[in-house]
Amino acid sequence: MKMKTLSIVCALLAGGAVGAGAQTPSDTGAAPAARTSTPAKAELSRGDKQCMKHAAEYSMAEIEAGKLAETKATSADVKSFAKQMLDDHQKANDELKQLAETKGYKLPDSPSLTQRAGLKMLAASDADKFDKRYAERYGVKAHESTIKDFRKEAGEAKDSDVKAYAEKLLPKLERHLSMAQTLEATVNPTAAGQKPSEKPSEKPSEKPGSASAPK
């Protein structure tokens, strides 16, 4: 009986020793494992946001104008130019969306209010005016304005990725402008600065005897 009681006591003491030996990290003073966290995205400057906003609105306006030209243009040259604008600006806009996502910046989802008004006017253009209006406004003028803005904004960009995007896009815009100027000269030579051919002025024929007699 004594031996049985002694065995039980020893078992209890052994269990207590094991329990005392199991220590939590807080008991040993060890620091808990650090939690991994996603680094915060750097805030874009106002100028960088403006550059991305302008680029998105401009590309969307060119895409919408190109879609209109595909269905309403009568000139094969205009249709070909519009297809090029659609492809190039859709690609540029897709790249911009990816960049904006990495920067945590939400781009506009439509052209600006002024651009939307211009697109409505283009859509309402008669067939005989559409080609000229498209080539002038969305070919030449839009590219001239955008190139001017992009040069300024690329030079002032603080974010290296935004700056690289703008600098990459500029040569394409300049090539588009050159193509647009050629197109405008074809469909609307007067607006392109070319004067229509003029017939040489003819002197009125003098009637016999109308010349004054020498004094």
Each residue's pLDDT tens digit, 81-94: 999 999 999 999 99
Instruction: Please tell me whether residue 104 adopts helix, strand or coil conformation.
Output: coil
Residue-wise burial string across 92-116, b where 16 or more C-beta atoms lie within 10 A, e elsewhere: bbeebeebbeebebebeeebbeebe
Any domain includes 14: no
Q: Is 210 exposed, middle or buried (0-12, 13-18, 19+ CB in 10 A)?
A: exposed
Non-local CB neighbours of 44 within 8 Å, separated by 6+ positions: 52, 103, 105, 158, 159, 162
Is 66 a domain residue? yes
Strands (E), the chain: none
Per 3-state DSSP, the chain is made up of helix, strand and coil in percentages (nearest 5) of 70, 0, 30
Residue 158 lies in a domain: yes
Tell me whether residue 141 is in a domain.
yes
Q: How many CA atoms lie within 13 A of 76 on its CB side?
A: 0
Cα(108)–Cα(120) distance, integer angstroms? 19
End-to-end alpha-carbon separation of the chain, Å?
A: 170
User: Is 23 within a domain?
Assistant: no
Q: What is the CATH number of the domain that holds 69?
A: 1.20.1260.10
Total domains in the fold of the chain = 1
**Domain-embedded: residue 159:** yes
Is residue 53 a part of any domain in this protein?
yes
Residue bearing the bigger pLDDT, 11 or 181: 181
Query: Which of 165-183 are b and which e, b meaning 16 or more Cβ less than 10 Å from the residue's Cβ?
Result: bbeebeeebeebbebbbeb
Q: What is the pTM of this model?
A: 0.70
Q: What is the per-residue pLDDT for 48?
A: 93
**Among 29-43, 80-94, 114-128, 157-171, which is the least confidently predicted range?**
29-43
pLDDT of residue 153: 85
> At residue 24, does pLDDT exceed 90?
no
Token output for 162:
């935004």
What is the tens place of the pLDDT at every residue in 30-74?
Answer: 555 555 544 456 689 999 999 999 999 999 999 999 999 999 999
Instruction: Report pLDDT for 192.
Output: 57
Distance, CA of 17 to CA of 23 (rounded, Å): 12
CB 110 within 8 A of CB 53: no
Give the rounded distance of the alpha carbon of 35 from its chain centre: 37
Kindly state whether residue 205 falls inside one of the protein's structural domains. Answer: no
Could you tell me the pLDDT band of residue 6, with boundaries at 50, 70 and 90? very low
Domain of residue 150 covers 46-187
